[in-house]
Every structure is written in structure tokens, then in C-alpha cells.
Amino acid sequence: MITPRTPSGVLELLPAEQIAFQRMLDAIRSGYERFGFLPIETPVFERSDVLLTKTGGETERQVYFVQSTGALEKSREADTSAEGPALPEMALRFDLTVPLARYVAEHEHQLTFPFRRYQMQRVYRGERPQRGRFREFYQCDVDIIGKDELSVRHDAECPAIIHAIFTDLAIGSFTIQVNNRKLLRGFYEDLGITDAEQQAAVLREVDKLDKRGPDHLRSTLTGAGFGLADEVVEQILAFVQVRSTGHDDALARLAEVERGSRGSASLAEGVAELREVLTLVRALGVPESDYCLNFSIARGLDYYTGTVYETTLDEHPQIGSICSGGRYDNLAGQYTRSRLPGVGISIGLSRLFWQLREAGLLEASTGESTVQALVPQVDAELLDDQLALASQLRHGGINTEAVLDGGKLGKQLRYADRAGIRFVAILGRQEVADGTVTLKDLRRQDQFTVPRTEVVSALRVELAQPQV
RNA sequence: GUGGGUGUAGCUCAGCAGGUAGAGCGCCGCGUUGUGGUCGCGGAUGUCGCGGGUUCAAGUCCCGUCACUCACCCCA
């Protein structure tokens, strides 16, 4: 016997939880569609050369390669003579953005721009698994891709989508934190940190501010690796700890940053963009309590170029960002000469779901089955009537399971209870004789008898009742 | 890739101056005839991660190995 075990770093759920997960997926999908986005899917694996265009060492370290047996043998033969092992022909996607870039570049002429697509699929990263981090996980992406141009107005749509979806998900109050990479670049240039490498290193450290605190950041930046002057570090700290407390405050903070500038064009541009984005976010109806400026946010350094977003749950800051994204100048530069600027966000649903479960925020939504009614077998001789009742319920649009193997009624009720099925429609000799059905609500511990002809409508009424 | 921690029943874990394994939860059955979840009573379940060593004797000590896990790196 082989011990049955999932590989580590995957999120495999039991049905009760899967239902809760599915509902979250549905809420996100419907949110994306409500904002006028179109669905696409791309293959779980891509050609290695397509996926690894950036050939960053980190990327290759984290990617899973896929190799057919035939190709594997072929590459082995070639290996004996060639200059080292060739890359496997395929690799599993590690995000949905690179496949999107390939997709848009490949189908550019069949798509209409701005191209608004959403995509909710699994991605794979060969990281060492950690608490709440997976090697296989869902990303729910939504992006707007422009041809040649995409006004910054689109950047304002993302917070509006996030707001709509997280309101629907009802997992508590949240804050959409907004920043702008141009503003950051300008700010650090003004401080004399102009070297791209050094700037990136500083941004990486600053990004950990919320996790490690200002003191840690201060000692890191003044330390050997960076060697920044105390005065400069204090300016950085003052800057990155900014969190606006409302719309007007956000605009005031921007004005303040602009006043403090030594004339960086990038900073001015970033400020102007943020101003426009914030103004439109408000116009789109996002309450000002739900968004703020946060100058510490940098996000992934590789391609975000303008607006960046990060969303956190107010009551559970330890969960970290539950949705993030930003603006990129040119999505598919590796695949096409066309300039395709874009903006988008991504919800890492597996991680979010796992965190919510850990925080005990899922209890209410789990334990409920998609089966709405169970028709037990009270008497084996009444099988035909029992099945007819099940059909009647199904035609009435009620998700119904009929017990086919019978047994004691008590056991069947226990089965329903454990399976999270709320209603049982009992049809025994008595009911058949009377032309009735007994409906039992396991949650409210209540039961009553209705005429068989009215069972669907009666059950519909009951399903609409609260559980407790 | 670097550094810690842990591996005992399905789950969470206890057992430890070395003497051939336990609790809670869960699971199964019973509390009669068509009523679950509560309650009472009864029951099943373990190559004590794997391999080697020390010992009369190892879950308990030593070595190795594997797995898992936490943190760092990174997170498009």
C-alpha cells in the first residue's frame, strides 16, 4: 500500500469547504463581469521560451518544467554531444500575466482594444512551501490592455472593482492602498538614490515596513548594505509611513510631496496620476474610508511602472495583501512590436481562502451542502414513489438527493445532518396514503406535512427562511 | 538556495532516570417498531517516519536517512 498523500503546498479541500471556495470564485467572477470584462483561459503549460523570456535567475528557480517522455529521450541523446542540457520544451505558468501578454500578442488582430479580460485559473510556483503559501494556487486576474495608449483613468477602475468584490465577499472592512511607481522613482531620485539597483533594493526593504517595523527599516538602510545617511533615511521613513486618512487628506499629502520635491519630473508625473486616479475612484462611488495613499507599497519590481495597489483587511492586518496589482507601460514587449500598456489586479484566492479559514472567518459559510433536500427511503417498497418525489423536486429546481440504499431512517437523517443537507422530504406509507409529504428542517428542528402537490412551493418558501 | 524545529491511532497531542502504548475529538454499534444533531453505555484502530547502533530490554539514548514544518531569500 502506498500512503495516500497530497504533495505539499497544495490546497485540496473537502466538499463543505470547496463549496465555500466556489462561492468566492463565483462572487469574483460576477464582480468582474459586472464591470464589463470578458473571460479567457490559457493552457496550464506554455512553451518554455515563451514563459522564460526574462530569464531571471529567480524565475527559473521557481518554474516547474514539463517534458514529454519522447522529448526527454531526445534531449538526453542530444545532451551527450551538445553543450549542456537543453531546457525542457514546456513549463507550467507561474502567473496569469505572462500568458496574457502572449495571448494578446498572438491574437492581437482578433481582439478589440481596450481589451478587458478576466481569468481565474491555477498557477504553479516551485517555491519551498510555507505557511499559507502554495506551489499550486488560484489567481483571479482582471486586466485592461490598451493599444498604444491607455489613459490613467483606467487605473481608477481597479479600486472600484476591488471595492465591489470585497464588499460582496463580506469578509470585513478593507482598505485599498494606492501608490505610484513614478512618484517613488522621483522621490528617491530627489534623494540622490538614482542607481536602479540601489533604488530597487531600497524599495524591497521599504515594502517590508509593515512586516518588520520602522526601526528595522532604519537600521537596515543605515547599515552596511546601504550606507545611507541618517538624514536621508529619516526622510525616507517619514515619506513611506504616510497613510492618508480620507480623500482630502490624500490630496493634501500629494501636494506636500510635490512641494518637497527638488524638481523631479517623474515625481510630478506620479503625483498628477495619483491625483486623477483618486478623484475618479471617488467619482466611481468608492467610499473614502475604503482607500488611502501608502507610499511604502512597491509591489513586484519587474514591470509595474505607474499606479500600484494593495488591499488589506482592516481587522486582520496580519493576513497581508489580499489583492494587488498595478499599471505596466508595455505588457508584451517580448512578443510584439505593438505597444500594449495595461493595468490590472489579481486576487490570490487560494491564499486568501486559507488565511480566512485560519482566522476563523469561514465557519459561517462552510458546512452547507449544495444539496438542498434529501429524500430518504422510508420503506423499500415505496421506491417508485420516493423517486417520483425526487424528480418532482428536481423539476422544481431544488437540488435533491434520493437515498437509494435505504436503511434505518435515523441513519439517513444522520447522513443528511452530517452532509450539511438542511431539508428532508419524507414519504412513508402514511404520506402516500394521505397524498402528502413531511418536510423536516434539520437546522430549525422543525417538521410539518404538506400536500404532495404543493411540496415544491412549500420547500421554496422554507429555503428562503434563515437557518436559525 | 540558507538556517532552525518536529516526526506516536483518521485528527490534536500525552508518554521519556530506557521495561514490549494512552487521552480528547472523530468513527462504528446499542438505547426495539418511521426522526438526526444533545445524552448514556459499549467497541474498533497504531510496522511509535525509515535504517542501523548501544542495551537483558529502545517510542524513550546515539548515528544516518527520509518526510513534514517554520523562518530567510524571492514573490512577475
Stretch A56-72: mean pLDDT: 72
Which nucleotide lies at the shortest CA–C1' distance from A431? B34
Strand pairing category for A136-145 and A115-124: antiparallel
Could you tell me the sign of the dihedral formed by the alpha carbons of A122, A179, A313, A235, in that order? positive
In angstroms, the CA of A224 and the C1' of B6 are apart by: 36
pLDDT digits (tens, 9 = 90+) for A402-440: 999 888 899 999 999 988 899 999 999 999 999 999 999
Q: Give the mean model confidence (pLDDT) for residues A283-296.
A: 94
CA distance A432 to A182: 75
CA A158 from chain centre, in angstroms, equals 13
Give A312-369 pLDDT, tens digit per residue.
988 887 778 889 999 998 989 889 999 999 999 999 998 888 888 877 777 655 667 8
Range with top average pLDDT, A73-77, A128-132, A327-331, A453-457: A453-457
Picking from A15-24, A46-55, A109-118, A168-177, which range would have the lowest pLDDT averaged per residue? A46-55
* Amino acid type, A332: A
The pLDDT assigned to A58 comes to 59
Residue A235's identity, in one-letter code, is Q
Per-residue pLDDT at A13 exceeds 60: yes
DSSP state of A445: T
Distance CA A257, CA A107 (A): 42
Q: Nearest nt to A51, CA vs C1'? A: B76
Total residue length of chain A: 468
Which residues, in sequence order, are CB contacts of A193 under 8 Å at separation 6+?
A: A199, A202, A228, A232
- A52 pLDDT band (50/70/90 cuts)? confident
Give distance CA A13 / C1' B40 (Å): 35
- CA atoms of A240 and A217, how far apart (whole Å): 11
Nearest to A242 by CA among A292, A195, A184, A276: A292
Q: Predicted confidence band at A213 (pLDDT cuts at 50, 70, 90)?
A: confident
Chain B: positions less than 7 Å from a protein CB are 1-2, 27, 29, 33-37, 67-76
For residue A106, pLDDT over 70 is answered with: yes
Neighbours of A287 (CB within 10 A): 12
Query: What does the pLDDT read at residue A437?
Result: 96
One-letter amino acid of A130: Q
Query: Residue with CA nearest B1 C1'?
Result: A61
Which segment of A54-63, A66-75, A405-414, A449-458 scores lowest on mean pLDDT?
A: A54-63
Shortest CA to C1' contact from A129: nucleotide: B69
Domains and CATH numbers, chain A: 15-41+94-358 (3.30.930.10), 45-92 (no CATH), 373-463 (3.40.50.800)
Confidence of residue A129 (pLDDT cuts 50, 70, 90): confident
A69/B51 CA-to-C1' distance in Å:
34
pLDDT tens for each residue of A291-301: 999 998 887 66
Task: Return the ∠ at Cα A37 (arms to A125 and A39), rounded to 5°.
Answer: 55
| Per-residue model confidence (pLDDT) at position A468 | 67
Angle at A37 between CA A35 and CA A40, to 5 degrees: 155
Note the helical H segments in A122-229: 153-169, 181-190, 196-207, 209-212, 214-222
| A224 pLDDT above the threshold of 60 | yes
Q: What is the per-residue pLDDT across A248-259, written as a single tens digit (0 to 9) for each?
A: 999 999 999 999
Instruction: Give me the CA A305–C1' B74 separation in Å, rounded.
Output: 20
Q: Give Cβ neighbours of residue A303 (< 8 Å, ≥ 6 apart).
A: A328, A329, A331
Q: Residue A352 CA to B11 C1' — how many Å?
A: 24
Amino acid (one-letter) located at A363:
E
Kindly report the average pLDDT of chain A as a whole number: 88
Cis preceding linkage at A88, omega within 30 = no
C-alpha to C-alpha distance for A374 and A442, rounded to whole angstroms: 11
